[in-house]
């Protein structure tokens, strides 16, 4: 049987599932009845209904995706609140908020208790214009470079320090070159804590550095609100996620990248952040190498170097100390011969084992067997974890192919983007399901308890089956994609598979108790 025949058989088997089984997976009642009768429902003609059929949002997400412009609006709202409540200028409000890590509650509480102390702590600075200086016609001596300047070529802050523009520029640029902490640059005066207003730094910085400084200002704002704000980890994305609830929430950014808000790693449901760290550490350390050594080698009885047996003969020669010994009993090989069973069998060991002797050898053998079992279990789960990880990468590459096929469908039918979006929706659903399946193998590796494990593996297997079937549907040739029946299959199966995926996640995260936990 070739791959195509096998795929068709799987699909036919899925179509022939009982109505009760299909109901458990989330099919609508009318769909269940028609599928059970061997007839798929016709695809609705409107693009809106197509889009709705592919939607799998049972509730509104607990987060909001912000552009940089929207992020700056969030900043301005906080600045306006501080201006209104503390009766300070917008520049002073911005400086205060930056100094307090944009924590407006802490700022207002401290200000109401001891405003002067806050001003001193922050070093609240206001730019003093040359026109505000009484003796502005007298030459000014900059205390940093000791040169004389006209007052118009200087800049002073309310902290009392005034320097020439050239020295200010050198100071601001030097602090910029140290990195993102430049947004908290203070006056160069001796032990002065006055923060230099950001508009002054932007004015003094050369053009190429200004954009980077603005980015650092946004970074500082996000960092100050890190419990509820994070940049999307995708290096090609400039969006910020505002998480209203906080904690371990899986985020799907507009760029398509899925990540965990708590740990910042790529989406890993149904595993907790702690389990993910444990699994990744296991994959990256030498723990499995140690298990392999224990399972497949023995120590030389003389020099104690680990030796691997690579042939059938029990006669071992240590390559380091040249000691000849028996692999089974680890005794001197010179004492072995036809009387001990020859080269390939050691009666001496078997007899001692039967009598309960050689306890240390049995203990070593037991330890080696346990290591082999542990290694075998790890390789079972890791191989499947790795396979889904590679399948995800492959599926992502097929997105471009899906978009090309969508364009071809549009050209043939003269329809809009939404009418053919079901193709891309199916591919994205496959990626989403494979990501969950990938992490179910990490979860399964640590899962204890026979009954719960049986339930878990049952639904893991079913999700894998649904995912493979949907993957096959998403790769149907253009001729079949033009048929309403095929479209209906893809639209409905995309919705069903994603719903089943969500239910699997929910059941695992809340604790599997029975086979009825996932519907």
Total length of the chain: 519
The backbone torsions φ and ψ at residue 327, rounded to the nearest 5 degrees and listed phi first, read -65, -35
Nearest of 312, 437, 296 to residue 373 by alpha carbon: 296
Beta bridge partners of 158: none
List helix spans (H) across 184-268. Answer: 198-204, 207-224
The catalytic residue among 313, 318, 329, 346 is 313
Which of the 8 DSSP states describes residue 272? -
- SS3 sequence, 26-73? CCCHHHHHHHHCCCCCCCCCCHHHHHHHHCCCCCCCCEEEECHHHHHH
Q: Alpha-carbon distance 493 to 478, whole Å? A: 18
- In the chain, % helix, strand, coil (3-state, to 5) comes to 60, 10, 30
To the query of whether residue 237 is one of the catalytic residues in this protein, the response is no
Q: Are 169 and 142 a contacting pair, CB within 8 Å?
A: no
Q: Taking the C-alpha atoms of 421, 427, 429 and 432 in order, what is their torsion angle to the nearest 10 degrees?
A: -140
Catalytic annotation, residues: 313
């Amino acid at each position: 049987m070739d791959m195509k025949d096998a795929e068709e058989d799987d699909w036919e088997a899925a179509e022939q599932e009982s109505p009760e089984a299909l109901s458990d997976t989330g099919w609508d009642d009318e769909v269940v009845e028609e599928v059970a009768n061997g007839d798929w429902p016709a695809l609705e003609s409107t693009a809106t209904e197509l889009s709705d059929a592919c939607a799998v949002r049972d509730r509104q997400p607990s987060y909001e995706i912000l552009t940089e412009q929207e992020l700056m609006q969030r900043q301005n709202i906080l600045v306006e609140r501080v201006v209104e409540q503390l009766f300070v200028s917008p520049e002073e409000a911005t400086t205060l908020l930056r100094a307090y890590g944009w924590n407006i509650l802490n700022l207002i509480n401290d200000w109401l208790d001891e405003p002067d102390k806050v001003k001193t702590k922050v070093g609240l600075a206001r730019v003093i214009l040359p026109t505000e200086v009484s003796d502005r016609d007298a030459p000014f001596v900059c205390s940093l470079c000791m040169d004389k300047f006209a007052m118009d070529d200087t800049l002073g802050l309310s902290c009392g320090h005034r320097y020439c523009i050239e020295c200010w520029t050198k100071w601001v640029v030097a602090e910029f070159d140290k990195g993102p902490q430049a947004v908290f640059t203070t006056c160069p005066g001796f032990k002065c804590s006055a923060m230099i207003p950001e508009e002054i730094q932007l004015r003094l910085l050369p053009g190429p550095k200004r954009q980077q400084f603005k980015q650092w200002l946004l970074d500082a704002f996000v960092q100050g609100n890190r419990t509820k704000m994070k940049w999307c980890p995708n290096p090609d994305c400039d969006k910020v996620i505002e998480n209203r609830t906080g904690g371990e929430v899986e985020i799907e950014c507009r760029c398509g990248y899925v990540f965990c808000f708590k740990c910042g790693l790529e989406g890993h449901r149904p595993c907790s952040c702690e389990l993910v760290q444990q699994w990744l550490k296991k994959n990256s350390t030498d723990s499995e190498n140690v298990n392999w050594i224990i399972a497949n080698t023995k120590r030389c009885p003389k020099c104690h170097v680990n030796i691997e047996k690579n042939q059938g003969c029990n006669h071992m020669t240590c390559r380091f100390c040249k000691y000849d010994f028996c692999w089974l009993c680890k005794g001197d090989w010179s004492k072995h011969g036809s009387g001990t069973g020859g080269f390939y069998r050691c009666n001496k060991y078997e007899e001692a084992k039967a009598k309960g002797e050689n306890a240390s050898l049995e203990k070593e053998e037991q330890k080696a067997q346990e290591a082999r079992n542990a290694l075998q279990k790890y390789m079972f789960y890791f191989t499947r974890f790795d396979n889904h990880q590679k399948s995800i990468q492959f599926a992502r590459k097929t997105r471009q192919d899906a978009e090309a096929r969508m364009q071809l469908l549009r050209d043939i039918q003269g329809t809009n983007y939404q009418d053919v979006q079901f193709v891309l929706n199916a591919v994205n659903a496959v990626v989403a399901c494979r990501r969950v399946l990938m992490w179910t193998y990490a979860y399964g590796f640590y899962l204890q308890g026979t009954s719960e494990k049986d339930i878990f593996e049952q639904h893991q297997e079913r999700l894998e089956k649904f995912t493979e079937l949907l993957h096959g549907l998403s790769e149907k040739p253009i001729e079949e994609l033009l048929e309403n029946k095929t479209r209906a299959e893809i639209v409905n199966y995309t919705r069903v598979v994603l719903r089943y995926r969500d239910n699997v996640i929910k059941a695992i995260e809340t604790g599997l108790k029975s086979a009825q936990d996932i519907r």
